[in-house]
Structure 1
Amino acid sequence: MEGTDKDAISSLRSVAHPVRLRILSMLTAQPMSAAEVARELDLTHANASYHLRVLHDAGELVVESKEKIRGGTAKRYRYVVGGDPTRPPGPPSVEDGIAWQQATHVEIVRRMAHRVKGPSSSSDIETWVTPETWRAAIDLVSQAMVLLHDQAQPARTEGTLHVSASSQAFVMGDPE
């Protein structure tokens, strides 16, 4: 396997963990240090540092700033939607995509336990549509997800709602 293929797989697998999915969601709105992530997610500092390092090494996080704290240096990490722009594009393997979906499923189930009454949407479909319809649907879903990422606020900001949104949409091959 070529080096660039290994890098892409490593990046996807780094995200395929429920804690790391939560970290990426939190770091969309604001940069945070390992200590802040640990407090917010009720993790040990060492565990938060480990997960942040894995995500950073895979190109999913950037170091936004560094500050001196008690003789050490605290890095503040931030998630840049779309990941590392220097990472080669390309689809993940089916196995890596399934691993990511399984981790996402665990995270969505955790979130559902905290669901409250309010505006929501849930949908599932497996069907056939024209390429034009598919493109229009994908564009709308993408716009909604970009809006949510762009407007994400720091956790517990006054006047905000704690929300969850997930999206999976893909073209399927015919069953054999």
Structure 2
Amino acid sequence: MVDETEPETDGQAVARLRATAHPVRLRIMSLLTAQAMSAAEVARALELTHANASYHLRVLHDIGELVVESEEKIRGGTAKRYRYDASRELADRTSGIDDRIAYARANAVEVERRLRDAAKGAASSSDLEAWVPVEVWHRALDLLHEASHLLHAEARPASTPDTVHVSATTNAFTMTGGLDGEAVRWIPAREER
């Protein structure tokens, strides 16, 4: 498990990215954003075997993506209830291009699954490769960061009355050929305070 008191090493960042670059694990993290669940509950919700759900939960817990929110005694054993806390701040998640591509592919598979289940209604989709001023780039990143944290913070358990089932995926990064490194370093606005 990642010790959050120590800075994350490059090796830990790569291990974290590789472990999350799996469509089932991405679904589990989304599911556990709204509520803590046991392996049996995750298995039922995602139509997995209990063993498969337990395995993926262990992998995510071991790399520090999930926290154990509680434990309860069930039929002579102990069931852990895991939760994904997207609001906790982690070290910079830099890694090699192959690892980032693996993560993007896993995300693409998950987005494709979600699109097959899309309902009619409000939606937004955007794709852009462009050159923009650094200040505009930083403002856009702040807005994306704020939107992501808002959605994670307000996530509710599945089928909660007066809620809408949504999908939101963001992927924004600087490209080669322009300013890079310290010239475009970004610190989220909420972390500057």
TM-score (norm 1): 0.93
Question: Which residue of 7, 21, 24 maps to 1:19?
Answer: 24
Q: Displaced runs of 4+ in structure 1, greater than 4 A?
A: none
SS of the aligned residue for 1:13 comes to helix
Percent identity between the two aligned chains: 58
Paired letter, 2:18: R
Distance in 2 (alpha carbons) for counterparts of 1:7 and 1:71:
35
Q: Quick one: distance in 1 between partners of 2:173 and 2:44? A: 36
- Select which of 35, 41, 62 maps to 1:36: 41
Tell me the CA shift for residue 174 of structure 1: 2.5
Cα distance, 1:91 vs. partner?
1.1
Q: Tell me what 2:175 maps to.
A: 172
Shifted more, 87-96 versus 46-55: the winner is 87-96
* 2:118 is aligned with 1:109: no
Unaligned runs of 5+ in 2: 1-7, 179-193
For 1:151, the equivalent position in structure 2 comes to 154
Equivalences for residues 122-133 of structure 1 within 5 A: 122-133=125-136
The TM-score, its normalising length taken from structure 2, stands at: 0.85
Aligned-partner Cα distance in 2 for 1:112–1:124 = 16
Q: CA offset at residue 90 of structure 1?
A: 4.4
Aligned length: 171
Superposition RMSD on alpha carbons, in Å?
Answer: 1.6
Q: For the residues of structure 2 that align with 1:66 and 1:121, how far apart are their CA atoms? A: 39
From 147, 160, 163, the counterpart of 1:160: 163
| Residue of structure 1 in register with 2:66 after alignment | 61
Cα distance change, pair 88–138 in 1 and its aligned pair in 2 (3 A): closer
CA distance in 2, matches of 1:166, 1:8: 20
1:73: which partner in 2? Answer: 78
Partner SS for 2:9: helix
Structure 1 unmatched runs, 5+: none
